[in-house]
A and B are shown apart, each in its own frame.
Chain A
Amino acid sequence: EAGVTQFPSHSVIEKGQTVTLRCDPISGHDNLYWYRRVMGKEIKFLLHFVKESKQDESGMPNNRFLAERTGGTYSTLKVQPAELEDSGVYFCASSPFTTGSYEQYFGPGTRLTVT
């Protein structure tokens, strides 16, 4: 079974540009999460989708970040315009929508560098 995949693996952009990150969850997983790790800090939650609906977006830093999950399959996270402090590793995770199964499976991450 394929794991969570993310694209691109690495992105270097200039301040003010736009970047779109993509996440493909494990097939059949209704829950999809975005997390971010800024250098030297802990991994922090950004938002949670259940199918195509945003369940919790309390971790989104500001309105420069827009996440979508059209059709409840893959998700995109757009940063527009990017700022220097947006640099970090963006992880996507997914989990099945079942009780008693709380493991979140993480993708390899997208390393974003804003210069």
Chain B
Amino acid sequence: RKEVEQDPGPFNVPEGATVAFNCTYSNSASQSFFWYRQDCRKEPKLLMSVYSSGNEDGRFTAQLNRASQYISLLIRDSKLSDSATYLCVVNRHFGNEKLTFGTGTRLTIIP
């Protein structure tokens, strides 16, 4: 079983729609959680960290459910520029240690 599981998609969503991604992780001791975004043939870039209380950054909302070992990302009012692969990422500890990646969910926003 993979440490971080994501639905690979692809998700094809019309512009302006709301889309949600989910991710589950297997190591209950994991401490920090992130969503990274990766454009085609580019490097991953941090989109947002994920906290138990939930956090929002503009059109993006991330949520963590430790009991279910489940992480979500919600994108509202989707834009064409949101088309990318979204990577669910987990760190066993707080701090500077290795990241464990999911395979990513590919999103395409359709005009």
B49 within 8 A of A: yes
Given the interface contacts A48-B97, A99-B95, does A108 sit within 8 Å of B4 by beta carbon? no
A107 within 8 A of B: yes
CA distance A7 to B75 in the complex (A): 35
Do residues B103 and A45 form an inter-chain contact, with CB atoms below 8 A? no
Give the interface of B toward A (CB within 8 A): 2, 4, 32, 34, 42-46, 49, 87, 91, 94-104
A109 within 8 A of B: yes
A74 within 8 A of B: no
From A36-44, A64-72, A78-86, the one touching the partner chain is A36-44
Give the interface of A toward B (CB within 8 A): 4, 31, 33, 35, 41-45, 48, 50, 56, 58-59, 91, 95, 97, 99, 102-104, 106-109
**Closest B residue to A59 using CB positions:** B98
Do residues A44 and B44 form an inter-chain contact, with CB atoms below 8 A? no
Which residues of B lie under 8 Å from residue A31 when comparing CB positions? 96
Instruction: Provide a sorted-by-A list of 8 A–B residue pairs whose CB atoms are within 8 angstroms.
Output: A33-B98, A42-B103, A44-B101, A91-B44, A103-B46, A104-B46, A106-B44, A107-B43
Instruction: List the 8 closest pairs (A to B, CB-CB), nearest first.
Output: A106-B43, A45-B98, A43-B101, A42-B103, A31-B96, A42-B101, A103-B46, A106-B44
**Closest A residue to B87 using CB positions:** A43
CA distance A58 to B30 in the complex (A): 17
**Closest B residue to A40 using CB positions:** B103
